[in-house]
C-alpha cells in the first residue's frame, strides 16, 4: 500500500483577484468584438495581437512607466503583470516594438472613437446651457534627432499634437499628430463638428477662418490680440459692476488686408487686473457667459499638465510617426478609461487621488493572491512533514 502523498503535488497556476483591473478595463472588452480585425500581413501569425498590445500600453500609462524596457521586464518577472497583462506565451521587446511601429493604428483610432461615444453617455455635461464646448490647443513633444519626420528647428526635432478637448465632460475627443512646425489653425475645422463651439487662444486668430467657421456652422470663442484693428457696428449694453466692460458687434481687421466679411461679437472683460478681448459668433449668450467660456479654456492646459505628469505619455517608446501616434492614442484611451471608471465608481472626474487608489487596489489584490499561493504551498509542505514519504515493503 502506498501513501497518497507519494505522488507529486503540483502547485496550481496562480489566479489573481483582478476585479479592480477588470472593472477599469471592462469598457474595452465590450468594444473589442466590434473593431476591424487586425490580421497578419503575411502567412506568419501575429506574435502580439491587438488586445495584448493595447493592454500592455494601457498598463504602461496607468503604472507610470518611463521606458519600454522597464515595462517588458515587469511583464516577464512580475507575477501579476505576467499573468494578467502579458499574453500567455509572453512578450518580447522586438515583437512589442514591431507592433508599436507598424500596425494597429486604425484599430486604436476606432477604439478611441467608440470609447469617446461611450464616455458621452456615461459622463454628464457640466455646462449644458452653453452648448458643446471644445477647447483646441497644440502641445509639443521633444523628439530625438533620428526622428527626421519631426521637423522643428535646425538642431532640434519636435512633434506636435493638435487636440480637441470636450470641456463639458473633461475628456479629449479628437487628435492629430504632425511635426513641430505645423500650423495649428487648419486643424480647427477638422476637430470641430457643426454646432460645436471652439474655445481658442489668440494664436488661432484668423479673420478668414472666422468667416469660414460661420459658413461651416461651427462656432468660436477666440481671444484676439490687443493691436487688432476694430470697426464698430453696434454697441451693446453691459451690466454695471460686472467683470464685462465691453460688448459690441464689429468687423475685425483692415479693409485693405484681412477684414472679416461677417460681423462678429467682441466682448471685453477684466480679471486680476488683466483685460481680455474675445471674439465670438455666439449671439445667444450673455457677455458674462462668453467670458466664462473663455475662462474654461484653461481646462485643456490643466489636462495637458496632468496627463504628461501622471501618465508619462511623452516618454518616447517609439520613434516613428506611426509609433508615436499609437503611443499618444493609447494614452488618451487610458484617460478615457479612467474617466469612465471614476464616474461609475465615484461620480467624479479623474484625479490623481483616484488613480493612485486604483493602482493600490490592483497591487493589494495581487498581494492577496500571492499570499493565497504561499498558503497553499505552506499547507502542502506541512502535510508532507506529517506524512513522511517512504516506500512500504
Same domain, 161 and 298: yes
* Predicted local distance difference test score (pLDDT) of residue 14: 52
Relative to beta strand 156-166, strand 133-143 is antiparallel
Same domain, 170 and 298: yes
Same domain, 188 and 334: no
Per the domain annotation, does 114 fall within a domain?
no
287 membership: H or E segment, kind and range = helix 287-295
Distance of CA 279 to the CA centre of its chain: 29
Per the domain annotation, does 122 fall within a domain?
no
> How many domains would you assign to the chain?
2
Q: CB of 112 within 8 A of CB of 333?
A: yes
pLDDT tens by residue, 202-230: 999 999 999 999 999 999 999 999 999 99
* Alpha-carbon distances of 355 from 23, 61, 105, 180, 352, rounded to whole Å: 13, 11, 27, 31, 5
* Predicted local distance difference test score (pLDDT) of residue 332: 97
Per the domain annotation, does 69 fall within a domain?
yes
User: What nine digits make up the cell of 46?
Assistant: 501575429
Q: Which residues does 127 contact at the CB level (< 8 Å), separation at least 6? A: 133, 167, 168, 296
Same domain, 20 and 137: no
User: What nine digits make up the cell of 181?
Assistant: 512646425
Residue spans of the chain under pLDDT 70: 1-17, 42-43, 369-393
370 phi/psi in degrees, rounded to 5: -65, -40
* Predicted local distance difference test score (pLDDT) of residue 234: 96
Q: Which domain holds residue 87?
A: 4-107+320-373
Count other Cβ atoms within 10 Å, centred on residue 49.
Answer: 16
Whole-number Å distance between alpha carbons of 60 and 167:
26
Instruction: List the CATH number of the domain containing 283.
Output: 3.90.350.10
Same domain, 91 and 216: no
Amino acid at each position: 500500500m502506498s501513501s497518497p502523498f507519494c505522488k507529486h503535488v503540483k502547485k496550481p497556476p496562480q489566479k489573481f483577484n483582478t476585479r479592480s483591473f477588470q472593472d477599469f478595463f471592462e469598457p474595452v472588452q465590450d468594444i473589442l468584438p466590434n473593431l476591424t480585425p487586425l490580421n497578419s500581413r503575411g502567412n506568419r501569425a501575429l506574435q502580439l495581437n491587438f488586445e495584448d498590445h493595447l493592454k500592455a500600453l494601457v498598463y504602461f500609462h496607468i503604472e507610470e512607466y518611463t521606458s519600454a524596457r522597464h515595462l517588458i521586464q515587469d511583464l516577464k518577472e512580475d507575477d501579476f503583470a505576467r499573468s494578467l497583462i502579458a499574453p500567455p506565451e509572453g512578450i518580447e521587446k522586438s515583437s512589442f516594438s514591431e507592433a508599436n511601429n507598424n500596425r494597429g493604428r486604425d484599430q486604436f483610432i476606432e477604439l478611441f472613437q467608440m470609447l469617446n461615444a461611450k464616455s458621452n453617455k456615461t459622463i454628464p455635461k457640466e455646462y449644458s446651457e452653453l452648448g458643446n464646448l471644445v477647447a483646441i490647443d497644440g502641445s509639443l513633444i521633444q523628439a530625438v534627432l533620428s526622428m527626421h519626420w519631426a521637423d522643428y528647428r535646425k538642431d532640434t526635432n519636435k512633434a506636435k499634437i493638435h487636440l480637441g478637448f470636450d470641456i463639458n465632460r473633461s475628456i479629449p475627443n479628437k487628435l492629430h499628430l504632425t511635426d513641430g512646425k505645423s500650423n495649428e489653425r487648419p486643424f480647427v475645422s477638422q476637430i470641430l463638428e457643426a454646432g460645436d463651439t471652439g474655445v481658442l487662444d489668440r494664436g488661432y486668430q484668423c479673420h478668414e477662418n472666422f468667416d469660414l467657421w460661420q459658413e461651416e456652422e461651427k462656432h468660436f470663442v477666440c481671444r484676439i490680440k490687443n493691436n487688432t484693428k476694430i470697426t464698430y457696428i453696434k454697441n451693446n449694453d453691459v451690466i454695471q459692476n460686472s467683470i464685462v466692460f465691453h460688448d459690441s458687434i464689429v468687423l475685425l481687421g483692415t479693409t485693405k488686408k484681412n477684414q472679416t466679411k461677417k460681423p462678429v461679437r467682441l466682448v471685453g472683460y477684466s480679471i486680476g487686473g488683466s483685460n481680455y478681448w474675445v471674439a465670438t459668433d455666439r449671439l445667444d449668450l450673455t457677455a458674462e457667459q462668453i467670458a466664462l467660456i473663455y475662462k474654461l479654456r484653461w481646462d485643456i492646459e490643466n489636462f495637458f499638465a496632468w496627463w504628461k505628469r501622471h501618465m508619462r505619455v511623452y516618454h518616447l517608446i517609439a520613434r516613428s510617426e506611426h509609433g508615436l501616434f499609437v503611443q499618444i492614442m493609447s494614452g488618451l484611451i487610458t484617460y478615457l478609461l479612467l474617466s469612465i471608471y471614476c464616474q461609475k465608481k465615484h461620480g467624479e472626474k479623474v484625479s490623481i487621488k483616484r488613480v493612485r487608489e486604483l493602482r493600490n487596489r490592483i497591487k493589494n489584490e495581487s498581494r492577496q493572491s500571492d499570499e493565497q499561493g504561499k498558503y497553499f504551498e505552506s499547507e502542502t509542505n506541512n502535510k508532507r512533514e506529517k506524512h513522511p514519504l517512504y516506500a512500504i515493503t
